[in-house]
Amino acid sequence: MNKKKTVRNNIKKTKSVNNTIKFPRSVLQPVYEFLNQRLVSLHINRKKISSEDPFKVQSRVMDNASPDADAEEQFGHARVSAIKEELNLKSKHIKKALERIKSGKYGICEDCGNMIDTDRLAAIPEASLCASCAKKREK
């Protein structure tokens, strides 16, 4: 019985220690700048892809369009919409990571409270979940 209580207390201590661990400012500053630059890049790409939307072309013929031209426009519009949606989602994740850096929660898993592996953060700087929690959410 005492062994179980000791294990539980150690787990609680470990979690509280994990919640207080933070990356040093010298490490976070380049990450913050990188994510800001990525956000700017996504904004530029979103504008560029919007200009490719066939529905926004001024010379688009609204009436008497041939069925194949209309299908091509529909496909082009759907393609642009899907890309813009993906860019918006990436922007949202980056903004969330920037807020986590500002609040001192960057690198801490939102679900379990453990540190996110630095290899994962190097590959996906906007990650807010550790690998195991991300796998759980995928299921």
Q: What is the pTM of this model?
A: 0.72
Domain ranges of the chain: 24-56+66-105, 107-139
Which pLDDT does position 26 carry in this prediction?
A: 86
Give the Cα separation of 81 and 76 in Å (integer).
9
Closest CA to 70 of 58, 50, 53, 54: 54
For the chain, 139 residues long, give each residue's pLDDT as a single digit of tens: 444 444 334 333 334 444 456 788 888 999 999 999 999 999 999 999 988 888 777 665 555 555 566 778 888 889 999 999 999 999 999 999 999 999 989 999 999 999 999 999 999 999 999 999 999 988 7
Question: Which structure tokens are listed for 60?
Answer: 């688009």
